[in-house]
Amino acid sequence: MSSPLDRVDTSTAHSARVYDYILGGKDHYLVDIEAGDAMCRHWPSLPVHMRENRLFMHRAGRFLAREKGIRQFLDVGTGLPTAPNLHEVVQEVAPESHVVYVDNDPIVLAHARALLQSSPEGATAYVDADMHDPDAILDSPEMRALIDLDQPVGLMVIGMLHFILPPADGQLVRRLLDPLPSGSYLAMTIGTADFAPEEVGRVAEEYARQNMPMVLRDLPTTTSFFDGLDLVEPGVTQVHKWRPGSGQRDVRDRDIAMYGAVARKP
């Protein structure tokens, strides 16, 4: 029987593995190290930026579970498991929560199945699919088994959209939102060059050289992805400014190249 790892291409950097390397993980290859080092030379703040993106996910997940009563989550573009993962955050609040993780990298698949274990009261599952094919996500047996579309869902699209090029970007987000009932929420982070245009622009060029083209969006474009939804305060802001906790570390705006927001589907 073939393993997901048989599909790994160790000759090409992958965004999830570069992210893992820069955040101090161990599930990456030399090509990912070289790409990550090149990106950090262009912008030494990249690890701070990536860490704050992850912390936004923790705060948004906890907010939805604790303050909005969301008990089922769809996490698209999961990336490699890095504790705490989304199910650990939300099941700490509500152990009965269900989380469906989605990614298309075989290393993520192997590690997710091994490590993303639910609390006894709740459930987790992993879907091997691409955001470019939303029907494969929505029609998956895992999604149908764990997500009740008669109840609100927390859709998490964290650190993904800058790898989805227009004009498909908004259409794909809407396709994932369309079947979710009223009272569901979208939590999303979106890359920008608004605060350090030269440095972040060079990082984007490096991603493109590594065959990972990306698009960086300004504030009006970012905000447009939430059209028709009810933004939760403070609206669209840099991720480190979205409902920071009392223990939030001091972070400079120019070290963060990601907008984030949470919004309710009416």
Average pLDDT over residues 48-68: 96
Task: For residue 257, give both structure tokens.
Answer: 């190249």
∠28-32-37 over CA atoms, to 5°? 125
pTM score: 0.91
Q: Is residue 37 part of a domain?
A: no
CATH of the domain at 94: 3.40.50.150
Q: Is residue 211 part of a domain?
A: no
- More confident: 247 or 213: 213
Q: Is residue 21 part of a domain?
A: no
For residue 170, give the H/E element and its range: helix 168-177
Share of the chain above pLDDT 70, in %: 96
257 DSSP β-pair partners: none
- C-alpha span between 38 and 52 (Å, rounded): 20
Residue pLDDT, tens place only, 132-149: 999 999 999 999 999 999
Residue pLDDT, tens place only, 147-206: 999 999 999 999 999 999 999 999 999 999 999 999 999 999 999 999 999 999 999 998
Q: Is residue 22 part of a domain?
A: no
Domain count, the chain: 1
- Ranges assigned E (strand) in 44-175: 72-76, 98-103, 123-128, 154-157
Q: Is residue 27 part of a domain?
A: no
pLDDT band at 108 (very low <50, low <70, confident <90, very high): confident
Q: Phi and psi at residue 238, in whole multiples of 5°?
A: -60, 145
pLDDT value at residue 93 = 97
3-state secondary structure 1-70: CCCHHHHCCCCCCCHHHHHHHHCCCCCCCHHHHHHHHHHHHHCCCHHHHHHHHHHHHHHHHHHHHHCCCC
Q: Which domain holds residue 251?
A: 46-195+216-264
Q: Is residue 14 part of a domain?
A: no
Residue type for position 231: L
